Structure 1
Amino acid sequence: MKPNKSQSGQLHFIEEPTSIPFSIKRLFWLDQITEGAKRGIHAHREEQQALVCLSGRVSAILENLKGEQFSFELDSPSKALFIPPMVWTEFTFGPDAVLLGISDRQFCEQDYIRDRTEFEAFQNKIRPDSEAIYD
C-alpha cells in the first residue's frame, strides 16, 4: 500500500480486490492497549486477515504449521501484514499503537484456536519430523 503524498499529508487506501486477497466482511481495530501488552495469541481455522498499524508500532511474531516463525514490524500505515488461516499470532503493542484488522469473515468464536496445545497438535500432524501417522 503506497501512500498518496501531498503537502497537506498522506492519503492511504486499500482498493478491493487488488490490495487485499479476499472479500472484506469485517473491519476491527485495537487501540489504547498498554505499551508492551501482547494481543492475538491465537490462530484461526479458516479466517484470513490483513493488519495495518495506523499509528505507533506493533511487533508481530507468526508461526505456521511447519513450526517456522516469522517476525514483522508494523510501524507505518503504508504496510500491511497478511495472515492466512492456521497461523499462530502474537502481537506486542508499542505506545499509542492503533491496529486495524481486515477480515474475510464475520466474528465466529468457533474459528479461533486459543489453546497453544491444540495448535501444536495440528502442527504435529503435518510436520515431517513428527511421529504422527499420515493418511
Structure 2
Amino acid sequence: MRLLSKPELIFLEPNGNESGQLHFVEEPTKIPFPIKRLFWLNKIAQGAKRGIHAHREESQVLVCLSGKVSALLEVLSGEKFLFELDSPSKALLIPPMVWTEFTFDKDSVLLGISDRQYSEGDYIRERAEFEVFQKKFRSKSETFPV
C-alpha cells in the first residue's frame, strides 16, 4: 500500500546576473526520486491539450522551459488542482494516480523528468478506467494499493 500524495510545485532557484539565468539540478536535488528518463514536448499548437492520462506507478516532475503550460490535475479523491507553469524556476511534482491535462500556449517547451522508463502498461488512458479507481478509493481509506 502506498500513501497517495498530491501534486505540488517545487521552486528551482536560478543563479543569475545581468547576462542571464542558469537553472540546474544536481545531487542532492529537489527532484524527490532517482531520474530514469527525460522527455520534452515542443511544437505543440497553441491551445492544444496533452497528457489526458494518469500513471499507475510513475512519478514525474515537469518544467516549462519556454512559454506557458496550464496543468489541470485530479487526484483519486476527486480534488482538482490548476497550476500555471510559466517559468523554468517552477517544477511541478506529479505523483502516481493523478489524472493530467495540459494546455499549451504558443511556442511552449515542456521538460518531463521521470522515475521510470517508458512502459505503456503504466498508463491509464481512458477516463472511465480512472473513474473506477476513484470510486474504489472513495469507498476505502486514504491509502490505496496501486
The two structures share one fold, judged by TM-score above 0.5 = yes
Query: Which amino acid in structure 2 is aligned with residue 112 of structure 1?
Result: Y
TM-score, with normalisation over the residues of structure 2?
Answer: 0.86
More divergent stretch after superposition (17-26 vs 74-83) = 17-26
Is the counterpart of residue 30 in structure 1 residue 41 in structure 2?
Answer: yes
For 2:98 and 2:32, how far apart are their aligned partners in 1? 16
Aligned partner of 2:97 in structure 1 is 86
Over the residues paired in the alignment, what is the CA RMSD in angstroms? 1.1
* Cα displacement (A) at 1:15: 2.0
Q: Which residue of 1 aligns with 2:64?
A: 53
Separation in 2, partners of 1:84, 1:16:
21
Unaligned runs of 5+ in 2: 1-11, 141-146
Does the 8 Å CA contact 1:61/1:89 hold for their aligned counterparts? yes
Alignment of 1:76 with 2:100, yes or no, is no
1: CA distance between counterparts of 2:111 and 2:22? Answer: 16
Q: Structure 1: any 5+ residue segments left out of the alignment?
A: 130-135
1:54-133 matches, cutoff 5 A: 54-128=65-139
Query: What is the aligned residue count?
Result: 129
**Structure 1 position 19 matched with structure 2 position 30:** yes
What do the CA deviations read for 1:55-76 (whole angstroms, capped 9, x no partner)? 0000000000000000000000
Instruction: Give percent identity, aligned residues only.
Output: 74
Q: Which has the higher contact order (CA 8 A, sep 6+)?
A: 2
Instruction: Give the TM-score normalised by the residue count of structure 1.
Output: 0.93
Distance 1:71 1:108, change over 3 A: same
Q: Residue type matched to 1:36 in 2?
A: G
The structure richer in strand per residue is: 2
Task: Please give the secondary structure, in 2, of the residue aligned with 1:80.
Answer: strand
